[in-house]
Amino acid sequence: MDRDYKMPEDDDALLAECDVTTFRATGPGGQGVNTTDSAVRLKHRPSGIVVVARRERSQYLNKKAALARLRKRFAEQSYVATERVPTRKSRSAKERTLMAKHVNARRKVARRRVDPTEE
């Protein structure tokens, strides 16, 4: 897929870049499903992305849904995550953590019961 590709804003222009296939949807719906070719498959030629829409009983509505899915899938593929930069704690932050542990430990030692042999 070309990185410099700009997807058209207009649905008609985007549809011109796609191979459109209609077929019969499957599933519940009885005679309406069995007789009409309402499901739509779009293959976007420049990117090779294929989407299918078959939920609605209308081919027009399925085409609109497929175009929306195509735009969404294209946006997902063109997203490039930035590389994570590993970070370290500074020396002073490590020292503060150790000092806090040291203070906590002394506090706990002070709470202990005094042993009679130590008096």
Query: Could you give the CA distance from residue 33 to residue 36 in angstroms, rounded to a whole number?
Result: 6
Buried b (16+ CB within 10 A) or exposed e, 74-99: beeeeeeeeeeeeeeeeeeeeeeeee
Task: Write the single-letter amino acid at 24.
Answer: R
CATH class belonging to 11-78: alpha beta
State the pLDDT at residue 101.
97
Determine which of 12-21, 45-54, 75-84, 95-104 has the lowest per-residue pLDDT on average.
75-84
Question: In the structure, what pLDDT confidence band is assigned to residue 1 with cuts at 50, 70 and 90?
Answer: low
Question: In the structure, what pLDDT confidence band is assigned to residue 119 with cuts at 50, 70 and 90?
Answer: low
> Which range has highest mean pLDDT (1-5, 87-91, 101-105)?
101-105
State the pLDDT at residue 34.
73
State the pLDDT at residue 5.
79
pTM: 0.62
State the pLDDT at residue 78.
76
Looking at residue 88, what DSSP letter applies?
-
CB atoms within 10 A of CB 40: 25
Percent of the chain surpassing pLDDT 90: 50
Give the residue, 21 or 31, on which the prediction is more confident: 21
